[in-house]
Amino acid sequence: MRYRWDFGDGTVREGVIAEHAWAEAGRYAVQLVVFDDRGGQGFHNTTVEVTGPGPPDDAFGLLLPLLVIAVVLVVAVLAILLRLRRRSD
């Protein structure tokens, strides 16, 4: 079987499960069409109301550099503290 999702904003995905985030608020007509191996098909239509933009596709990609910078800063501060402690001994 094949599964085809049309999210109503020009985005089409295939697969049993499909994720999508709309870029703009609005009402979107979403359609799922299921094709079987013998040429048959079935479909379901629904309307989705989006009240705000979805998260960026690379939300984790924005977080990772910030996390790396934070770790580097913590290591640098610890190194400075260790040097100061050794000097005072």
| Per-residue pLDDT band at 28 (split at 50, 70, 90) | very high
Do 81 and 48 have their domain in common?
Answer: no
What is the per-residue pLDDT across 47-85, written as a single tens digit (0 to 9) for each?
999 987 656 666 666 666 667 777 777 777 677 777 777
Q: Which helix (H) or strand (E) holds 57?
A: none
Q: How far from chain centre, in Å, is Cα 65?
A: 17
CATH number at residue 49: 2.60.40.10
pLDDT at 42: 93
Do 8 and 44 have their domain in common?
Answer: yes
pTM above 0.75, yes or no: no
Q: Which domain holds residue 16?
A: 1-54
Do 16 and 42 have their domain in common?
Answer: yes
What integer is the mean pLDDT of 35-41? 91
31 with 62: CB under 8 angstroms?
no
